[in-house]
Amino acid sequence: MTPVRPRSAERRAEILRAAFEVIAERGYRGASLAAVAERAGLTQQGLLHHFPNKAALLVAVLEERDRWDTGGSGATGRAAWRLDLLATLVDYNAMRPGVVQTFSALLGESVTDDHPARDFFTRRYARVRADMAGVLRAEFGERLPGGLTPERAAPLLTAMLDGLQYQWLLDPEAVDMAAAFRDFLGLLGVEEGK
> How many Cβ atoms are within 10 Å of 136's Cβ, its own excluded?
25
* Stretch of 3-11, 32-40, 54-62, 123-131 contacting a copy of itself, by CB under 8 A: 123-131
Contact between 99 and a copy of itself per CB under 8 A:
no
Distance CA 82, CA 5 (A): 31
Torsion, CA 23, CA 66, CA 117, CA 179, rounded to 10: -70
Is residue 71 left, alpha or beta, with left meaning phi > 0 and alpha meaning psi from -120 to 50? left
Helix H or strand E encompassing 29: helix 7-30
Contact between 48 and a copy of itself per CB under 8 A:
no
Contact between 133 and a copy of itself per CB under 8 A:
no
Distance CA 115, CA 161 (A): 22
165, amino acid identity: Q
Cβ neighbours of residue 121 closer than 8 Å, sequence gap 6 or more: 106, 107, 110
According to CB under 8 A, which residues from 150 to 179 bind a copy of itself? Answer: 152-153, 155-156, 158-164, 166-167, 169-171, 174-175
Contact between 187 and a copy of itself per CB under 8 A:
yes
Contact between 32 and a copy of itself per CB under 8 A:
no
Supply the minimum distance, in Å, between the C-beta of residue 68 and a copy of itself: 19
Distance CA 101, CA 183 (A): 23
| Radius of gyration of the chain from its Cα atoms, rounded to whole angstroms | 18
Contact between 92 and a copy of itself per CB under 8 A:
no
Residue among 42 and 101 whose Cβ is closer to a copy of itself: 101
Size of the site for a copy of itself (CB under 8 A): 50
Contact between 107 and a copy of itself per CB under 8 A:
yes
Supply the minimum distance, in Å, between the C-beta of residue 1 and a copy of itself: 44
User: Where do contacts with a copy of itself occur on this chain (CB under 8 A)?
Assistant: 24-27, 29-30, 101, 104-113, 118, 121-122, 125-126, 129, 146-148, 152-153, 155-156, 158-164, 166-167, 169-171, 174-175, 180, 183-184, 186-188
